[in-house]
Structure 1
Amino acid sequence: MTLKRKLSMVLAASAVLVAASTAPAAASGGHSPTWRLTDTGSTAQFRGLAPVSSRVAWVAGSGGTILRTVDGGRHWADVSPAGASDLLFRDIEAFDSRTAVAVSIGEGEASRVYATTDGGRSWRETFRNDDPAAFYDCMTFLDRKHGLALSDPVGGKFRILATADGGRSWTVRPTAGMPPALTGEFAFAASGTCLVSAGGKALFATGGGATARVFTSRDAGRSWTVAGTPVPSGPTAGIYSLAVRPSGEAIAVGGDYNAPTAAPDGAAYLHGRTWKIARTVPGEYRSGSAWASRRVALAVGPTGSDISRDAGRTWTRFDTGNFDAVECTSDGSCWASGPTGRVARLTH
């Protein structure tokens, strides 16, 4: 069994070892936000999260489970694809209440893409990986038609899968424009945010090697540049999540899932073209991040949630509950998802 496979299994199981309290912690200054849990009726671990608005959201996770709400989380419908119970969904992208694309992870044929246009009543498998060396981690859409999915290195380079028709078909991109991977380098399939996009740019983050790095593409994933970051990297450490704004502002969070309560330099922000460690970091492993507004960002992990009100320069804990992923929508609604069916909305 490869280290990557072991990592995905440990990520799936580790959440049960962390307390699931949602009691908010004290925050300095202003009013502290609070997560309000919804009743999903599921015990799956939801690392895939795709809110569309304050009313519509999708989650995807273990056991091939996909749920959808159209009433703000008061009711959740199980819209899981048929025959997918052995799959681990780690990312889902949704455009509205009817249209969504989900990716499952794993070596070889375990990496697949499914798409629906009828609210999950039916799904079509639109890609199945046939390369035993590939392992797809996460996915992003630059617009409703153009999307990318990221695989760990194959033949010494990260692999990009692309769609130009909203996920109905996919093509493996040539790797001529991809810089070489470092020894041991890979991406973390922890929250569906190891690959993100905004403003015509796509970014993906890594760990596992000597340096945690961020790759950037300005031509829809055909060519990439790469920059090192000061976030510590190692066999199970690095950047687990990115969040980027159309203006180009970006944040990165991570740490080491094997040491969830210690991540001294586990958050960074992009200053020009240079990544800098935040002045005040969450201090613990964080697997998900999102922009809530122009200056406000959120980060979540198994030991709590943090908020930054200065574009990632400083972070303050506001909750001690266990979440894997966080996403915010254009109408200002923020959602989080995690183990044992946990899905919550942010209240102020």
Structure 2
Amino acid sequence: MRRLGSTRRWGRTSRVVAAGVACAAALAGLTATPAEARTLEPGARSGQLGTVHWQLKDTGTPEVRFRGLAAVDRDTAWLAGTAGTVLRTTDGGASWRNVSPPGAAGLQFRDVETFDARRAVVLAIGEGEQSRVYRTEDGGTTWTESFRNTDPRAFYDCLAFFDHRHGLAMSDPVDGRFRILSTRDGGRSWRVLPADGMPPALEGEAGFAASGQCLVASGPKDVWLATGGAARARVLHSGDRGRTWTAADTPVPAGDPARGVFALAFRDRTHGLAVGGDFRADQPSPLAAALTPDGGRTWRPAAAAPPAYRSGAAWLPHSRTAALAVGPTGTDLTTDAGRTWRTVDTGSYDTVSCTHDLSCWAAGEKGRAARLEP
């Protein structure tokens, strides 16, 4: 989007399990606590989310803004950001290794997708050859550039993977339709899919490369694409790995290049959330959240939306009703599957990711990275 700117092993496993159990209990308490008790009181500790809180992890990179985040588990996470920066932690954020691809300092990484602690794919955004994809199989020790855009009309925004082999990347419209790039070998090679299955784009419509969540997948074949910048903010859905698509309007405000749906989160192929608004700090963002009960065919507005623009969203681990939304002015929590949201933190984050071992991570400006702690 052009507009944004052995014994040892057993001991370690036991500690991870214990931490996961503690965090799970805290999350359970958070979602069960009455709404009024979860509200931050004046003077409360910064980062507090009721019985859990964001614990900042020093990345040592205050000059970098991280809009790409892929959490593997409680210990391992990848960050991707400005100045061609990619970081990786395997100790829960106590230390970070700079694993940036060589020669990438002039690129803006906006998305990272990971398969485990060693394999990851990162996307650089921008016009023409600024849009690139890199892949590593050794924890970032070495990288392979697997795609470089040569069409000056294309501008890639987001990545999404269905499994370890199949994935997609999306570009803003070319010749009046969103362009989809596909891989069947885990990101080693890519091909542009035919455009005949993609509905026409609206005038001014594009994606937002704000959090790596404008393209998300759930299950082996379903994928959704979020848009903005046009008269209507839409979500496009494909049930065949990007070959054919249908479009649905959302109630998220649009009508301006700075407004629309910035992030999607699906807990399964049916239930999804959309968040966004107007990314300009001096503009309000009413009704900037929506939910779908039918796989994105229809969307309805949240009864109580976040109070400001939100760029990232994630369902809490193993929950059918609880999710987080993050943005530059705070974090919001829903405990009723997106119908109502309540602000629970005022720290600045651009993106959020949760894992199956009951862990959530967030990242954003000034090198910020954090993990949800009990």
TM-score under structure 1 length normalisation: 0.92
Which secondary structure state, in structure 1, belongs to the residue aligned with residue 54 of structure 2? strand
Which secondary structure state, in structure 2, belongs to the residue aligned with residue 144 of structure 1? coil
183-192 or 33-42: bigger deviation: 33-42
Q: Are 1:226 and 2:226 matched, yes or no?
A: no
Deviations 1:238-260 (A, max 9, x none): 00000012242100000001146
Q: Are 1:239 and 2:258 matched, yes or no?
A: no
Does the 8 A contact of 1:27 with 1:318 survive in 2?
no
- Distance in 2 between residues matched to 1:71 and 1:104, nearest whole Å: 26
User: Which of 182, 185, 191 is the aligned partner of 2:205?
Assistant: 185
Does the 8 A contact of 2:65 with 2:364 survive in 1?
yes
Residue 27 of structure 1 deviates from its aligned partner by 5.7
User: Which of 127, 136, 159 is the aligned partner of 2:179?
Assistant: 159
Which secondary structure state, in structure 2, belongs to the residue aligned with residue 106 of structure 1? strand
Deviations 1:112-131 (A, max 9, x none): 00000000000000000000
Which secondary structure state, in structure 2, belongs to the residue aligned with residue 162 of structure 1? strand
Does the 8 A contact of 1:198 with 1:245 survive in 2?
yes
Does the 8 A contact of 1:27 with 1:317 survive in 2?
no
Quote the residue 1:336 is aligned against: 362
Does the 8 A contact of 2:213 with 2:264 survive in 1?
yes
Quote the residue 1:20 is aligned against: none
| Inter-CA distance 216–118: structure 2 relative to 1 (3 Å threshold) | same
Quote the residue 1:64 is aligned against: 84
Runs of 5+ in structure 1 lacking a partner? 10-25
- Distance in 2 between residues matched to 1:217 and 1:337, nearest whole Å: 28
Quote the residue 2:56 is aligned against: 37
Residue 34 of structure 1 deviates from its aligned partner by 1.3
Quote the residue 1:321 is aligned against: 347
328-337 or 256-265: bigger deviation: 256-265
Residue 28 of structure 1 deviates from its aligned partner by 2.3
- Distance in 2 between residues matched to 1:332 and 1:217, nearest whole Å: 29
Quote the residue 2:106 is aligned against: 86
Does the 8 A contact of 2:277 with 2:309 survive in 1?
yes
Which secondary structure state, in structure 2, belongs to the residue aligned with residue 176 of structure 1? helix
Residue 183 of structure 1 deviates from its aligned partner by 0.2
- Distance in 2 between residues matched to 1:138 and 1:95, nearest whole Å: 16
Deviations 1:10-52 (A, max 9, x none): xxxxxxxxxxxxxxxx962453531100011112100000000
The residue type paired with residue 230 of structure 2 is G
- Distance in 1 between residues matched to 2:249 and 2:111, nearest whole Å: 25
Which secondary structure state, in structure 2, belongs to the residue aligned with residue 274 of structure 1? coil
The residue type paired with residue 340 of structure 1 is K
- Distance in 1 between residues matched to 2:283 and 2:70, nearest whole Å: 27
Does the 8 A contact of 2:182 with 2:192 survive in 1?
yes
The residue type paired with residue 264 of structure 1 is P
Does the 8 A contact of 1:137 with 1:189 survive in 2?
yes
Deviations 1:188-239 (A, max 9, x none): 0000000000023100110000100000000010000110111111211000
Does the 8 A contact of 1:260 with 1:285 survive in 2?
no
Pairing 1:107-122 to 2, within 5 Å after superposition:
107-122=127-142
Quote the residue 2:36 is aligned against: 28
- Distance in 2 between residues matched to 1:268 and 1:82, nearest whole Å: 40
Deviations 1:75-98 (A, max 9, x none): 100000000000000000011110
The residue type paired with residue 214 of structure 1 is V
Does the 8 A contact of 2:222 with 2:269 survive in 1?
no
User: Which of 290, 296, 314 is the aligned partner of 1:268?
Assistant: 290
Pairing 1:113-132 to 2, within 5 Å after superposition:
113-132=133-152
Residue 343 of structure 1 deviates from its aligned partner by 0.2
| Cα root mean square deviation, aligned | 1.3
Residue 135 of structure 1 deviates from its aligned partner by 0.1
Quote the residue 1:251 is aligned against: 273
- Distance in 2 between residues matched to 1:195 and 1:157, nearest whole Å: 15
User: Which of 45, 48, 51 is the aligned partner of 2:71?
Assistant: 51
Quote the residue 1:308 is aligned against: 334
Which secondary structure state, in structure 1, belongs to the residue aligned with residue 36 of structure 2? coil
TM-score under structure 2 length normalisation: 0.86
Quote the residue 1:280 is aligned against: 304
Quote the residue 1:14 is aligned against: none
Q: Are 1:290 and 2:290 matched, yes or no?
A: no
- Distance in 1 between residues matched to 2:37 and 2:232, nearest whole Å: 35
Quote the residue 1:205 is aligned against: 226
Which secondary structure state, in structure 2, belongs to the residue aligned with residue 289 of structure 1? strand
- Distance in 1 between residues matched to 2:35 and 2:345, nearest whole Å: 9
Deviations 1:102-158 (A, max 9, x none): 000000000000000000000000000000000000000011100000000000000
Does the 8 A contact of 2:270 with 2:293 survive in 1?
no
- Distance in 2 between residues matched to 1:172 and 1:67, nearest whole Å: 29
- Distance in 2 between residues matched to 1:173 and 1:252, nearest whole Å: 25
Query: How many residues of Structure 1 are paired with residues of Structure 2 in the alignment?
Result: 328
